[in-house]
Amino acid sequence: MIAYALLLTFPMAMAFAAANDLFTMKIPNKISLALIAAFVLAAVYIRLPLEDALVHAGVGVAALVAGFVMFSLRLLGGGDAKLMAAGALWMGPDHAVLFIAYLTIFGGLLSALILFYRKYIPVTADAVPGWAARLHVQGTGIPYGIAIAASGLLMYPSTAFYQALHM
């Protein structure tokens, strides 16, 4: 029972973060904190060696630093940076590079899709929900949490956590 709860925490948190980012353009800190706490519980549950857990933490910290650099350059939102770091924590050194590569690909596709939407799909305030109208406004951000979540969900089944918890 505990294994299934831990197994589902990562994908549910990522899906919730993506939906929240799409609808509100915000990713609450609670989601990233829940992912970090679940990582600790999952690491203890699967008996991940302390050295490996520390390497995972180092990968997460490196992603957080990179995310905050991108945030300071206005390339990424603060919630996106924290979610990316929490995802990288779960990926660890074996999957972090591919996680970031997929994140970049999905982010580019998402950005192109939203730019296409803004330029070629006419939107009237009455015809679409508020979140869709906000996405249409030039100069607003891209809900990059969607790309982060997509990358995490794609990579998650290959992680040690999924393999150990999936029985």
Element (H, E) at 132: helix 130-136
Cα distances from 6 to residues 9, 24, 128, 165, in angstroms, run 5, 27, 37, 7
Under the banding of pLDDT at 50, 70 and 90, the label for residue 138 is: confident
CA distance 24 to 20: 6
List, for residues 100-118, the tens digit of each pLDDT value. Answer: 999 999 999 999 999 998 8
User: Residue 108 carries which side chain, given as an amino acid letter?
Assistant: G
What pLDDT, on the 0 to 100 scale, is given for residue 136? 81
Mean pLDDT of 138-151: 92
Give me the long-range contacts of 53-60 (CB less than 8 A, separation at least 24): 55/92, 55/93, 56/89, 56/90, 56/92, 56/93, 57/89, 59/88, 59/89, 59/91, 59/92, 59/93, 59/96, 60/36, 60/85, 60/86, 60/88, 60/89
Dihedral angle, C-alpha 54, 60, 62, 67, nearest 10 ° = -170
pTM of the predicted model, to two decimals? 0.94
The token duo for 99 is: 């996680």
Domain that holds residue 150: 2-165
Mean pLDDT of 18-22: 97
Dihedral angle, C-alpha 50, 28, 81, 85, nearest 10 ° = 10
Q: How many domains does the chain have?
A: 1
